[in-house]
Structure 1
Amino acid sequence: MTQPLGVILAGGLATRMGGGDKGLLPLGHGTIMDQVIDRLAPQVNGLAINANGDPERFAPFGLPVLPDSVGQHPGPLAGVLAGLDWAAGEGAEAVVTVAADTPFFPCDLVPRLQLAAGDMAHPLALAATPRGTEETRSMSRDGLIRHPTFGLWPVALREDLRTALTGGLRKVVLWTEPHGGREALFDDGGDPFFNVNTPEDLEEARRRLEAQA
């Protein structure tokens, strides 16, 4: 399987943080986005940021900024589609997406997603953790919790996704399941997909980063 491109999903509204871009919040010697880029860049063949509004706020990162092509903030699938359209122009076969507010996701995310997809004609896989890490996430029938912003997505299905979004589909698993989407299990302990939703989460992220130093 060829190396995919990486897309950082930064299109959320951040309502619990008072609005703005959570990825631009300070963390360590830079921002949350810096942490995300440092983790994802070694795993992919190129990076872009999916975000709406003025792209200049992301200029310091020197990465392409991809706006949603579907309006009304339809959720992460719109960011996935923006990434797939970009990847198609780059001649890539797949993208891996991560969330811009999740600074500690696994450094082997991409190979484990690829391993889960195996020999699928159109590799499609979501990250998952065992029950108990965050009960509010999308729970699958076998008790795993899907993390729908962390996935491997095939460029070959981008027009199918565009049609689904135009038709009103918003929930990630309602699109992945009919296409045989698989799950990559991350059961190494802790909460590898801890994300910053509140000021308290940001303080926790700072504590975690200091503990890793």
Structure 2
Amino acid sequence: MTKPLGIILAGGLATRMGGGDKGLLQIGGQSLLNHVIDRLSPQVSGLALNANGDPERFAEITLPVIPDTIEGFAGPLAGVLAGLDWAAEQGADSIVTAAADTPFLPRDLVERLTAAAEGQTHPLVLATTPRTGDEALKSGGSKRVNRHPTFGLWPVALRNDLRAALNDGLRKVVLWTDQHDGREALFPAEPFDPFFNVNTPDDLALAEKLLEQA
């Protein structure tokens, strides 16, 4: 199977960080975004950044910057659609997405997602991690995994279906993936959750500490 294209999703509003681009915050002397690029780029055939607004603020990143292709802030699925539209222009069959504020994403992200898609007509897989401790207790055992909807393998063939769903008001990722028999790929969460994302100043301080274990 040909490597998919990679799309880094940086379209969030970052309200808990006071706005701005979380991906440009730094740990270990590098931006979160650069940490993501370092981990994802070897796994994909090409890489682009989904972000809205002035692309010049990402000039040092040297990646194509692609805005949402539907109007209004429609959440991560709008970024997925933008990535699928860009991939279609490149003649690609699929994309893998990752969030711009997750500096420890798995180095085998694409390998595990594509393995889980084996046999699917349209590969569609979301990343998951096991629920443990308090999380499992709070769910009453009804949910054994955490789904990470900004980390997934997505088929270009379904981009117009996704566009129609978004135009109809759909915003929740898993509602759309479940409609299309989406699968899940399980990732270990030890020594910590590889999908840990930076939402607050405290998260940023924690990420600095976790960097020593990554």
TM, length-normalised to structure 2: 0.93
Q: What amino acid is the match of 2:206?
A: E
- Residues 44-63 of structure 1 correspond to what in structure 2 (within 5 A)? 44-63=44-63
Q: How well do the aligned residues superpose, as a CA RMSD in angstroms?
A: 1.8
Structure 1 runs, 4 residues or longer, greater than 6 Å off? none
- Residues 44-83 of structure 1 correspond to what in structure 2 (within 5 A)? 44-83=44-83
Deviation string, structure 1 residues 112-169 (Cα, Å, up to 9, x no partner):
000111110100000001113895xxx8965211100000000000000000000100
Partner of 1:143: 144
Provide closer, same or farther for how the CA distance between residues 54 and 17 of structure 1 changes in structure 2, counting only shifts above 3 A.
Answer: same
- Residues 6-21 of structure 1 correspond to what in structure 2 (within 5 A)? 6-21=6-21
Partner of 2:154: 153
The answer to whether residue 113 in structure 2 is matched with residue 110 in structure 1 is: no
Partner of 2:166: 165
Contact 1:133–1:191 (CA<8 Å) still a contact in 2?
no
Provide closer, same or farther for how the CA distance between residues 196 and 134 of structure 1 changes in structure 2, counting only shifts above 3 A.
Answer: farther
Provide closer, same or farther for how the CA distance between residues 159 and 193 of structure 1 changes in structure 2, counting only shifts above 3 A.
Answer: same
Provide closer, same or farther for how the CA distance between residues 112 and 66 of structure 1 changes in structure 2, counting only shifts above 3 A.
Answer: same
Give the whole-Å Cα distance in 1 for the aligned partners of 2:119 and 2:58: 36
**Residue 210 of structure 1: CA displacement?**
3.2
Contact 2:43–2:108 (CA<8 Å) still a contact in 1?
yes
Aligned length: 210
Partner of 2:178: 177
Contact 1:123–1:154 (CA<8 Å) still a contact in 2?
yes
- Residues 118-133 of structure 1 correspond to what in structure 2 (within 5 A)? 118-132=118-132
Provide closer, same or farther for how the CA distance between residues 16 and 188 of structure 1 changes in structure 2, counting only shifts above 3 A.
Answer: closer
Contact 2:122–2:155 (CA<8 Å) still a contact in 1?
yes
Give the whole-Å Cα distance in 2 for the aligned partners of 1:184 and 1:177: 14
Q: What amino acid is the match of 1:164?
A: A
**Residue 22 of structure 1: CA displacement?**
0.3
Contact 1:134–1:145 (CA<8 Å) still a contact in 2?
no
Q: What amino acid is the match of 1:146?
A: R
Amino-acid identity (%):
67
Partner of 1:207: 209
Where do 5+ consecutive residues of structure 1 fail to align?
none
Provide closer, same or farther for how the CA distance between residues 200 and 133 of structure 1 changes in structure 2, counting only shifts above 3 A.
Answer: farther
Provide closer, same or farther for how the CA distance between residues 16 and 89 of structure 1 changes in structure 2, counting only shifts above 3 A.
Answer: same
Give the whole-Å Cα distance in 1 for the aligned partners of 2:133 and 2:153: 21
Provide closer, same or farther for how the CA distance between residues 11 and 210 of structure 1 changes in structure 2, counting only shifts above 3 A.
Answer: same
